[in-house]
Chain A
Amino acid sequence: MVDELLFFMEVLVGGLLAGTMYSLVALGFVLIFKASATFNFSQGAMVFFSVLAFVGFMQDFNIPFVLAFILAALLMVVVGLCTERFVLRPLMNASEDTVLMATIGLGYVLEGLAQAAWGVEVRRLDLGIGDFPVPWIADNLKLFISALDITAGLVAAIMIIGLFLLFKYTKIGLGLRAVADDAGAASSIGIPLKHIMLLVWSAAGVVALVAGCMWGARAGVQFALVDLALKALPVLIIGGFSSIPGAIIGGLIIGAVEKVLEVYIGPFFGGAIEGWAPYVLAIFFLLYRPEGLFGEKIIRRV
């Protein structure tokens, strides 16, 4: 009995921590959705691009870890800058659908650029954190939990607190929330939309880099990262597209649910339900709570 309970806990905690990796990816989507009401299809490509650049700096130019990370982050700011200037600004008054299509195009450009610059082979990313159970926890709590998962959890927590403080207490954060509510009204009182766009795209780029590091360390830095990022879609449907806490909780739910289902119900379906179970859950949310758990409700005054 105790063993079974321990096993369940292990599955659950493992799932929750793996879920923080989804949360990290979803965060990038939320940032951009808040400011431009667009689902950024290039987020996956940004993850791939940023982490490939990071690894490329380290392995091809022998730049030390920290410096390479800073360079990659700066590169993502440049990407944000170029996106604002060459994609978003010309489409300033276009419909949201047009911007959505543009992000798909942007995704292809980033994928192509990354592979042209750094090659197509899978690269190993060593963060110096092993993807194996932490002995201390294994000994004391009898739970086998990966050090990488714990790190991802901590990193996600720090990023969330940081972003929350940024949005709640800074001037530019207030500007961003205003734009998210009503871009037209925001520009009528002199909030410059291009600064806000620049901010969110750069922030989304840096978040993509962090997410890419976590995923890259686990699965290798490879093209599959682009598709992995789409796992963020059910996360966002559950958490709400415009909510940062929603992205986090949504990620945790997806992580936990998919692991628990895989272990306990998977055998009845011949296993590998991890791949589609989150989408089934997402469909239920779309039917019964379309704004997600934390999405901003469409407020109607009666």
Chain B
Amino acid sequence: MSTSTNILDIKNIEVTYDNVILALHDVSLKVPKGKVVALLGANGAGKSTTLKAVSTMLASERGKVTKGTIEYDGTSIEKQNPSQMVGLGMVQVLEGRRCFGHLTVEENIIAGAYSRKLSKGDINQELEKIYTYFIRLKERRKSQAAFTSGGEQQMIAVARAMMAKPKMLLLDEPTMGLAPQLVAEIFNIVKELNQKEGVSILLAEQNTNVALKNSDYGYIIETGRVMLDGTAQSLLSNDQVKELYLGISKKGRKNFRDVLKEESLTKKKIN
């Protein structure tokens, strides 16, 4: 892949919080233009940190990229701040949705267009376009965001980000705590936005199976390092991934209790 086809190119970054806590050791990843890339891993693996390093939101949490480089659209993001990144077309949807609870659904979405200089008419036009993807939100446009459901709040967060007209979206655990049906609904919308609007997407997920099924490429990180990467198809059929992240082994489904049973059996044998 030559650099021009990658909208995002992260090379060997190391991130520390408060100058002491090493959160990322060595992460490199690429997002090709117009593709969906999944960043997978358990809690604390460094998914969120990677996304925040890209959106430059790290500084507000006293984090810092101490090694390596991040290039977005061909230029280094080193000296940018979050609102400049939004201006360049990179928007992050934070973990936990983070809607403006006291604002209405529609006000939330309109707030997403803050960085653009739009007239009232333009805003309404953009709103209507957004509502074609998020039909459910149109019905609830006048409700206070804090009183909408978890799935709706996630949609608000994505819709709000789309109002900034991004070239690239960073989604941090968009399906956290949602029912399977809603997970599918959210991913359908994400896919649609990717295909119709041409938005490149880097998404962090714990839900390995669904994430890979909706992505082109995947990276698996553990304790701040990329352990494995490959096309979504190859990862889905990879035995290690199956066993560790999808809970499927060659012998069929395997759960934590089975693992414990096996361990105690081997212990007995040793004794």
Task: Give me 12 A-to-B residue pairs in the complex whose CB atoms sit less than 8 angstroms apart, sorted by A's number.
Answer: A174-B111, A181-B102, A185-B100, A185-B157, A188-B91, A188-B98, A189-B160, A189-B161, A190-B85, A191-B111, A191-B115, A299-B147
Give B97's nearest chain A residue, CB to CB. A185
B contact residues around A184 at 8 Å (CB): 57, 60, 94, 98
Partner of B146, one of A185, A191, A192, A299: A299
Closest-by-CB residue of A relative to B123 is A171
Task: Convert A186-199 into 0s and 1s, putting 1 for each residue whose CB lies closer than 8 angstroms to a CB of B.
Answer: 11111110000000
Q: Which of A92, A178, A188, A192 contacts B57 (CB 8 A)?
A: A188
Q: Report how many A-B pairs have Cβ atoms within 8 Å.
A: 89
A181 with B164: CB separation less than 8 A: no
Residue of A nearest to B100 (CB): A181
Q: Chain A residues with Cβ under 8 A from B164's Cβ?
A: 189-190
**A interface residues (Cβ-Cβ under 8 A, vs B):** 92-93, 171, 174-175, 177-178, 180-182, 184-192, 296, 299, 301
Is the pair A174, B87 in contact by a Cβ cutoff of 8 Å? Answer: no
CB distance from B50 to the nearest CB of A (A): 15
Nearest neighbor of B118 in chain A, beta-carbon distance: A171
Docked Cα-Cα span, A188 to B172, in Å, equals: 12
Find chain A residues with CB under 8 A from B111 CB. 174-175, 178, 186, 189, 191
Interface SS majority for chain A: helix
Interface size on B, residues (CB 8 A): 37
CB contacts (< 8 Å) of B101 on chain A: these are 181-182, 299
Q: Is residue B42 contacting chain A, with contact meaning CB distance below 8 A?
A: no
Answer whether A190 and B146 are a contact pair too, CB < 8 Å, given A175-B111, A185-B99, A299-B101: no
Q: Which of A93, A180, A189 is within 8 Å of B114, CB to CB?
A: A189
Q: Contact: A187 with B146, CB < 8 Å?
A: no
- A residues within 8 A CB of B83? 187, 190-192
Residues of B contacting A301 with CB < 8 Å?
146-147, 150
Closest residue of chain A to B93, judged by CB? A188
**Does any Cβ of A come within 8 Å of B59's Cβ?**
yes
B82 sits at the interface (CB 8 A): yes
Q: Given A174-B110, A174-B111, A301-B146, do A188 and B82 touch, yes or no (CB 8 Å)?
A: yes
Q: Let me know if B57 and A93 touch, CB within 8 A.
A: no
Q: Which listed residue (B57, B93, B100, B112) contacts A182, Cβ 8 A?
A: B100
Q: How far is the CB of A217 from chain B (nearest CB, A)?
A: 37
